[in-house]
Amino acid sequence: MLKEKEVVKFENVWAYYNSHPALQDINFAIYDRDFLGIIGPNGGGKTTLLKIILGLLKPRHGKVIVLGKEPREGRPQIGYVPQKSFFDKNFPINVWQVTLMGRYSHTGLFRRYSMEDKKLAEQSLERVGMMEYRDRQIGELSGGQQKRVFIARALSSNPKILLLDEPMESVDPKVQGEIYGLLKEFQKEMTIVLVSHDITAISIYVDKIACLNQTLVYHGPKEISVEVLEGTYQCPINLIAHGTIPHRVLKEHD
């Protein structure tokens, strides 16, 4: 049996913001072609974990290896879709220009885009179904369309790992399903790591789950118990059956 290839490895990782711990003693690996969903409460360290993988934040203690390298060295091979993309909706930048920005890590800010850069941008827009909007101003698009463009921007870097931080925020359920379908297709070529508060969607689409609340409460197959979820969120959770899809609901709490 072939051994799975590790693309990200955390060993005894501790991270702090000022004197406050954000992550405590994190040990786990992410493998090639994984579709990993990371869930947990606000302040649980989910975005911090992504920043460490990207090399944007250095842990206080421990070791992180990304694609066999230090995180900063591995960053050009990572596509990233942030939780929020702040931009002036009236700023005159179109879909094509936004997508090409994903090539910055390869070209630099002041170099001309090559034919290869443009080819990858075109392929990325095609893959997310946004090529027909290439000349449209980004601020004129719907929330779901903008999200597709930002995913295209990440894909244009030709990544081996795709990180997404709350990618379904402000996206209606129908479009969410379409985007999750795209991500399952991308998984055939790359590792997907997705941070989300939507436990139900996570349980349907991903292959593995990491439950994070400063410490790693659970990491493994997506079939997790209510007890594990309650331990992660530190509050009661109801499990409701609805057809063949389970819905996990957090009770109101402080």
pLDDT computed for residue 239 by the predictor: 43
pLDDT computed for residue 170 by the predictor: 76
Q: Which residue ranges make up each domain of the chain?
A: 6-86+160-250
pTM of the predicted model over 0.85 = yes
SS3 at position 209? strand
Lowest mean pLDDT among 10-14, 66-70, 84-88, 113-117: 84-88
H helix intervals, the chain: 46-54, 71-74, 95-100, 104-107, 115-127, 143-155, 173-186, 199-205, 226-233
CATH topology of domain 6-86+160-250: Rossmann fold (3.40.50)
The residue behind tokens 């630099």 is: 108
Q: What is the pLDDT of residues 60-103, one digit of tens each?
A: 999 999 999 999 999 999 999 998 766 666 778 999 999 999 99
Q: Give the relative orientation of helices 143-155 and 115-127 as an angle to the nearest 10 degrees.
A: 140
67 φ, ψ (degrees, to nearest 5): 55, 40
**Which of the given ranges, 2-11, 172-181, 186-195, has the highest pLDDT on average?**
186-195
